[in-house]
Amino acid sequence: MASKIARTPSLLLEYLPAIYQEDPFVGQFLSAFEKIILGREDDVAFPHKGVEATIDGLAAFFDPKETPEEFLPWLAKWTALSLRADLTPTKQRHFLEKIIQFYRWRGTKKNLQDLLELFTMGVPEVIEAGAADMQIGVYSTLGKDTYIGGGPQHFFYVNISLPRADPEVQLRQREIAKAIIELEKPAHTFYELTVKYPSMQIGKHSTVGVDTILGVVESS
């Protein structure tokens, strides 16, 4: 028969009356509890750290940079937020790290631009209708993107320039942008979203009529 491995009695014996400290069985019996509570170091495999070690590292669970990936949704709920499932863990951590700042500036043009840049990885531009006076080549179509005497009340334009991507990624980026705008805009306002993608990249997309067109591809 294989001989059993003799293990050091549990440190928890120190907390028992002297009569129990002399019993070898009790010393071995308590080693399992020591493993779970104190993280006893021995040759017994155990998938978790001791409870005491977990409590010592509790502060890390509240740090967006340090918390385990599976705790990101839990941490988000502490800030009254539900994270989108299609966001990468890196974006989720970066967003949670700045959430208080974003809440402070919620409803402002700057906050909307910052959020769109963070979540779409694009270059957003938010223009209030009053600022969209006639500019040749930019805002110059009467009744569409410019108005005599100024634009409509409580209206703004959102233009986002994004890297070229496959149609599925483009659709997801647009959905993310719309969700952010709907969440952040003041309730009484409305908007027009235009997403632009480059159509020509030398060495990548440069064959006219095959994989590129002149200008940019717009999605309104």
What are the extents of the domains in the chain? Answer: 108-220
Residue 43: what pLDDT?
67
Residue type, 175: E
Q: What is the pLDDT of residue 170?
A: 81
CA distance 208 to 214: 8
Mean pLDDT, rounded, for 148-158:
74
The CA distance from 108 to 111, in Å, is 5
141 band by pLDDT with thresholds 50, 70 and 90: low
Q: Please report, rounded to a whole number, the percentage of residues in the chain having pLDDT higher than 70.
A: 73
pLDDT tens digits for range 171-217: 888 888 998 899 888 888 999 998 887 766 565 555 555 455 444 44
Please name every residue paired with 126 in a beta bridge, in sequence order, or none if there are none: 158
Q: How many residues does the chain have?
A: 220
* Residues linked to residue 158 through DSSP beta bridges, in sequence order: 126, 193
